Amino acid sequence: MNFTIDAELDATGLRCPLPLLKAKQALSKLNSGQCLKVLATDSGSVRDFQAFADLSDNTLLLSETHEQHYIYVLQKA
């Protein structure tokens, strides 16, 4: 998958629901079509980010796990 990262958010060490709340704030500063990369360590964020994408017009382009880190890329609607 090919996309450009326009902003990054380091949410490592934050517990649910803070990674998603901070991601929503960061997305609000982006233009439509831009992408936000989020790095998190809370395992609950996997469910949160998928549910957020399902309930919003934003697209979850990437959801990966690397050891204890969770990486997401959201595209703003």
Question: Is 16 one of the annotated active-site residues of the chain?
Answer: yes
Residue 39: closest CA among 59, 52, 58, 22 = 22
Choose the catalytic residue: 7, 14, 16, 18: 16
Distance (Å, rounded) from C-alpha 19 to C-alpha 1? 24
Tell me which H or E stretch contains 19: helix 18-28
Report the catalytic residues: 16
